[in-house]
Chain A
Amino acid sequence: QKEVEQNSGPLSVPEGAIASLNCTYSDRGSQSFFWYRQYSGKSPELIMSIYSNGDKEDGRFTAQLNKASQYVSLLIRDSQPSDSATYLCAVSPNTGFQKLVFGTGTRLLVSP
């Protein structure tokens, strides 16, 4: 079992719709969770971080964390074609050092 699992996609949504991206992790002691966006050929760009159970909203983005279910998700409201990218979930396992474990990413396609 991979430490961080994501559906590779692609996830196709029409412009204006809500895109829902999901991620599960195996280390129950994980404390920090991140969503990165990566355009093709570019480096990952931090979108959101979340540390406690519940929802965290930032503009069109909402991160949701459920530690009991070891599940973190990212909702993108009013999806735009410019949101088309690969979204990486990253988790900081309970190792005592600030190391991130990345999922393989979910490719999102937003059609006009």
Chain B
Amino acid sequence: EADIYQTPRYLVIGTGKKITLECSQTMGHDKMYWYQQDPGMELHLIHYSYGVNSTEKGDLSSESTVSRIRTEHFPLTLESARPSHTSQYLCASNPGTSGNTDTQYFGPGTRLTVL
């Protein structure tokens, strides 16, 4: 099981602000993911990373960007927040070990509200 941390847990911010949602894991997992989930709705993959200096866009188009400079750290940035960005953002990582290569473990999430 992975230890995945997300900060802040809750964020209320005004339109137009730049925000960064932090995600870190202490298990040395190469693969990390960001999902967006609206209340009562399904998870949508918005970004993922194979490892350091690798980032890819997911299935759901997002105005956010990510970076992966260190294995343990996968921050997500919104340059100019809008009310449409209000959602829960979930970070996950994958140990990628033999026989268990697809399992993802989730952090506690960040609930973002843009006013």
Output the nearest chain B residue to A30 by Cβ-Cβ distance. B102
Given contacts A34-B103, A100-B102, contact A44 B48 (CB under 8 A): no
Q: Are A43 and B108 in contact (CB under 8 A)?
A: yes
Q: Verify if B8 is at the interface (C-beta below 8 Å from A).
A: no
- The total of interchain contacts (Cβ-Cβ below 8 angstroms) comes to 50
For chain A residues 14-69, which have a beta carbon within 8 Å of chain B? 31-32, 34, 41-46, 49
Q: Are B43 and A44 in contact (CB under 8 A)?
A: yes
Q: Verify if A102 is at the interface (C-beta below 8 Å from B).
A: yes
Contacts of B105 in A (CB 8 A): 46
Interface code B21-54, partner A: CB below 8 Å = 1, 0 otherwise? 0000000000101000000011101001010000
Give the size range of A's interface with the partner. Answer: 20 to 34
Interface code B75-107, partner A: CB below 8 Å = 1, 0 otherwise? 000000000000000100010100011111111
- By secondary structure, the B interface counts as loop
Interface size on B, residues (CB 8 A): 23
Q: Are A43 and B109 in contact (CB under 8 A)?
A: yes
Q: Verify if A108 is at the interface (C-beta below 8 Å from B).
A: no
Q: What's the Cα separation between A102 and B45 when bound, in Å?
A: 9
Given contacts A44-B43, A88-B43, A104-B42, contact A98 B96 (CB under 8 A): yes
9 further A-B pairs in the complex, CB-CB below 8 A; given A43-B108, A97-B50, A99-B33: A31-B102, A43-B107, A44-B90, A46-B103, A46-B105, A88-B42, A98-B101, A99-B58, A105-B42
6 contacts between A and B (CB under 8 A): A32-B101, A34-B102, A34-B103, A49-B103, A99-B48, A100-B102
